[in-house]
């Protein structure tokens, strides 16, 4: 079994925003060297979900875990991204698709927010 992880965000017209997901994927790839790690944008930028899933399948993925890189369980993370991922796998019945929940409220997210707040309080405007 060859596993893949696919990070999906909304996508932006601003390249600076899209590069964030690419950097996150690179960092995750370093921690998961035995897995294919890819990224995609739901809208406005490439690679699309379909393009990224096709690339994972071309690399031999038989299981793809899709992580919607969203804070809340809104329509994009619970409906749109799963729909796009399922549609991209039509014709690939050998590939299993798994979805993670959005980031949500997690103690590590709280830690990051706290860190950012404290940084802002200690920097000069």
For the question of whether the overall pTM of this predicted structure is more than 0.75, the answer is: yes
Beta strands (DSSP E) in 1-125 are 3-9, 36-41, 63-68, 96-99
pLDDT at 125 over 80: no
Q: What class, spelled out in words, does domain 3-122 have in CATH?
A: alpha beta
Average pLDDT of the chain is 96
Residue in this structure with the two tokens 């925003």, named with its chain if needed: 17
Angle between helices 49-58 and 81-88 (to 10 degrees): 40
Positive or negative CA dihedral for 10, 110, 101, 22?
A: positive
Express as a percent the part of the chain with pLDDT over 90. Answer: 98
Tell which residue, 57, 65, 59, 61, has the closest CA to residue 88.
57
Give residue 123's pLDDT band: very low, low, confident or very high (50, 70, 90).
confident
Tens of pLDDT, residues 71-93 = 999 999 999 999 999 999 999 99
**C-alpha dihedral, 10 to 14 to 20 to 26, nearest 10°:** 90
Residue in this structure with the two tokens 């927010």, named with its chain if needed: 113
Cα–Cα distance, 121 to 124 (Å, whole number)? 8
């Amino acid at each position: 079994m060859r596993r893949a992880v696919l990070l999906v965000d909304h996508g932006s017209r601003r390249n600076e925003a899209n590069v964030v997901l690419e950097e996150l994927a690179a960092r995750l790839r370093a921690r998961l060297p035995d897995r294919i790690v890819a990224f995609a944008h739901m809208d406005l930028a490439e690679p699309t979900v379909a393009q990224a899933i096709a690339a994972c399948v071309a690399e031999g993925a038989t299981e793809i875990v899709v992580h919607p890189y969203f804070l809340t369980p809104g329509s994009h993370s619970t409906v749109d991204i799963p729909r796009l991922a399922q549609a991209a796998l039509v014709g690939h019945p050998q590939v299993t698709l798994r979805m993670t929940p959005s980031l949500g409220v997690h103690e590590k997210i709280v830690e990051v927010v706290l860190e950012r707040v404290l940084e802002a309080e200690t920097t000069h405007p």
